Amino acid sequence: MEKLQDVNIKEVMTFCTRSFSEDLRCGVLVSDGAMGTMLYERGAFLNRAFEELNRSKPDLVFDIHSAYVDAGADIIESNTFGANRMKLGNFGLQDEVSSFNAAGVALARNAAREGVFVAGAMGPLGLLRAPEGEIERNFAIEVFREQAEALLEPGSIDIFMLETFGFLAELRLAVQAIRLVTTIPVVAQVTTDNTGCTSDGAALDVVARSLTDEGSDVVGVNCSDGPASMLIAVERFCAVATGPLAAQPNAGRPRQVDGRTLYLSSPDFIASYARRFAKLGVKVIGGCCGTTPDHTRSIKAVIGRESCEAKNEKL
């Protein structure tokens, strides 16, 4: 393999020739699992920006992407969840937005095989509180827009994956920012409490309606308290959403065991809920914190992916 440090980001090719929207109509797409968990397990320190590893340790990031592809993921997310100016600023890296996002996309694209979608991952800024909070609305949109443009610059992401937004108000701004620069599909996901509401008190009917109105192609929920509580949120989403849904639970709340931080939801346990999500009609199913390629493999085994060609053969 060519040394990843020498990859010319501008020359990365888009290999996925399928349409994301068409594949959603054909069956369930399996997304990958945690990136941060895997980086931590492989020695990354928690007091550094994991997105910086796209430049300093590209082989490590590439190997994790490849493990998810080998496990059967239909979607892999770039290691760019916190690669916005606000989050990177906590490490004095606020001027590296373009560099870290472009490198993250290049690594994901190089790991993806033909037919695997590459998602540009974006997370919250960490400062916004409803309705506008500690930072001014237009500034927040500009920060999100800066990252969106950085993810688009290499020309090789297929979708945006917005995840772990506790505040609907902030997620709406992120979708608005993306829609200022592109029309490619957006998967917009909130994280909810045990009552099924976001941190700013938005019920899921409001979440579904407002995110669709802003231009999201898929709405859903990720992280939260694990698959069991997420099932309740998914059932509520199914009752009110008019478009495709996503569900990507974490592996339960982390526990401290013999000095180690562990997630105790096994791959088979996660997969059993993935089957239930699919039966409810969820179209994008993956994992969040604590999930690994083993979880992805188990989800893939119970869900699979029915292509349009396979459906045509049955007709």
Among 37-51, 80-94, 213-227, name the one with the lowest average pLDDT: 37-51
Q: What is the mean pLDDT of residues 103-122?
A: 96
Inter-residue contact 34 to 287 (CB < 8 Å):
yes
What's the chain's average pLDDT?
86
**Phi and psi, residue 161, nearest 5°:** -120, 105
Q: What is the pLDDT of residue 51?
A: 97
Q: What is the pLDDT of residue 40?
A: 87
Q: Tens of pLDDT along 176-211?
A: 999 999 999 999 999 998 778 898 889 999 999 999
Q: How confident is the model at residue 248 (pLDDT cuts 50, 70, 90)?
A: very high
Q: What is the mean pLDDT of residues 223-239?
A: 89
Place of tokens 């443009």: 149
Q: How confident is the model at residue 310 (pLDDT cuts 50, 70, 90)?
A: very low
Is residue 14 pLDDT above 50, yes or no? no
Q: What is the pLDDT of residue 136?
A: 82
Closest CA to 145 of 179, 99, 194: 179
Q: What is the pLDDT of residue 254?
A: 52
- Residue 76 has a CB neighbour count (10 Å cut-off) of 30
H-helix or E-strand containing 256? strand 255-257
User: How far is 18 from 213, CA to CA, in rounded Å?
Assistant: 26
User: How far is 139 from 14, CA to CA, in rounded Å?
Assistant: 31
Burial level of 95, CB count in 10 A (0-12/13-18/19+)? exposed
Among 75-89, 108-122, 225-239, name the one with the lowest average pLDDT: 225-239
Is residue 17 pLDDT above 90, yes or no? no
Q: How confident is the model at residue 155 (pLDDT cuts 50, 70, 90)?
A: confident
Inter-residue contact 124 to 172 (CB < 8 Å):
no
Q: What is the pLDDT of residue 313?
A: 47
Is residue 285 pLDDT above 70, yes or no? yes
User: How far is 101 from 146, CA to CA, in rounded Å?
Assistant: 10
Q: What percent of the chain is predicted at pLDDT more than 90?
A: 66
Q: How confident is the model at residue 137 (pLDDT cuts 50, 70, 90)?
A: confident
Q: What percent of the chain is predicted at pLDDT more than 70?
A: 83
Q: Tens of pLDDT along 47-95?
A: 889 999 999 999 999 999 999 999 999 999 999 999 999 999 999 999 9
Q: What is the mean pLDDT of residues 290-297?
A: 95
Q: How confident is the model at residue 16 (pLDDT cuts 50, 70, 90)?
A: low
Domains and CATH numbers, the chain: 4-314 (3.20.20.330)
